[in-house]
């Protein structure tokens, strides 16, 4: 799929729920993927952590590559890595349609964003709760997706930081209309509405999906809360 058609698919499916596989059962990845299959248009969110940019380790492109043949859902790699440029090719080869790296790791992100676009991959830029939103403003023309962190990156299961809402508002006003606005951390049925009202279109959800007994019901409820808040 081309970068433009991936963006078009996600835009028209919004609100899109992006299950964060960080919270899934790694002992049975095949089953987890199968359980997500009937959940409508979703974006698989892969959290790669290097134990340096964040105080935790997770998985790399090898794991994503093995899951790729199991599903036709779109994949987004969220790179919480100090040197994303070293790993990007691996995640592209693994079949990720979207790749998102952090401005705190790459303070001058233009070149890397262009490299992603040149590879026909959706170019994403993430920012941490402590980073002022205007750090992103100079790069918005080169970005296809902005990911606003609403928790400190590194772990699932944390509480939503409401200050992220101001950032979403400010970004939505400035971002090109065809670029996607995403939010990651502490998204559940009680927080997703405010994020949707603030302009988010993609909602990463770890605990709110994988801690629930019925993933389809959990995703439907999240989607409904987001839809209700936008109308």
Catalytic residues: 47, 184
> Binder to Zn ion among 47, 50, 97, 144 (CB under 5 A)?
47
* Residue 146 tokens, joined: 């902005």
Distance between CA atoms of 16 and 46, rounded to whole angstroms?
15
- Phi and psi, residue 159, nearest 5°: -85, 140
Q: Does 144 bind ligand DX5 (CB under 6 A)?
A: no
Binds 76, which of ligand DX5, Zn ion, none (CB < 5 to 8 A, cut-off by type)?
none
DSSP state of 22: G
Q: Does 153 bind ligand DX5 (CB under 6 A)?
A: yes
Give the total of residues touching Zn ion (CB under 5 A).
Answer: 3
Q: Integer distance in angstroms from the first to the last C-alpha of the chain?
A: 31
Cβ neighbours for 223, distance < 8 A, ≥ 6 positions apart: 15, 17, 40
DSSP state of 103: T
Q: Does 81 bind ligand DX5 (CB under 6 A)?
A: no
Each residue 158-197 as x (binds Zn ion by CB under 5 A) or -, in order, gives --------------------------x-------------
DSSP state of 137: G
* Measured CA angle at 152 (ends 104, 197), to 5 deg: 95
Please identify, among the stretches 35-43, 88-96, 163-171, 184-192, the one whose residues bind ligand DX5 according to the rule CB under 6 A.
184-192
Distance between CA atoms of 61 and 65, rounded to whole angstroms?
6
Binds 182, which of Zn ion, ligand DX5, none (CB < 5 to 8 A, cut-off by type)?
none
Each residue 126-165 as x (binds Zn ion by CB under 5 A) or -, in order, gives ----------------------------------------
Chain contacts with ligand DX5 (rule: CB under 6 A): 20, 22-23, 45, 47, 78, 151, 153-158, 184-187, 204-208
């Amino acid at each position: 799929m081309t970068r433009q058609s991936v963006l078009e698919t996600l835009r028209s499916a919004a609100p899109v729920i992006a299950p964060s596989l960080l919270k899934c059962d790694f002992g049975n990845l095949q089953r987890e993927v199968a359980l997500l299959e009937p959940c409508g248009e979703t974006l698989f969110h892969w959290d790669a952590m290097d134990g340096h940019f964040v105080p935790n380790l997770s998985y790399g492109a090898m794991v994503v590559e093995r899951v790729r043949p199991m599903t036709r859902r779109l994949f987004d790699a969220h790179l919480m890595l100090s040197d994303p440029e070293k790993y990007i090719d691996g995640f592209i080869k693994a079949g990720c349609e979207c790749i998102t790296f952090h401005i705190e790791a790459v303070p001058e992100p233009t070149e890397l964003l262009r490299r992603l676009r040149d590879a026909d991959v959706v170019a994403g830029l993430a920012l941490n709760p402590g980073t002022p939103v205007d750090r992103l403003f100079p790069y918005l023309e080169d970005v296809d997706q902005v990911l606003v962190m609403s928790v400190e990156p590194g772990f699932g299961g944390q509480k939503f930081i409401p200050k992220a809402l101001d950032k979403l508002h400010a970004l939505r006003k400035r971002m090109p209309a065809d670029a996607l606005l995403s939010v990651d951390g502490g998204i559940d049925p009680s927080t997703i509405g405010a994020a949707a009202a603030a302009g988010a279109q993609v909602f990463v959800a770890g605990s709110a999906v994988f801690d629930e007994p019925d993933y389809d019901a959990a995703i439907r409820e999240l989607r409904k809360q987001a839809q209700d808040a936008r109308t």
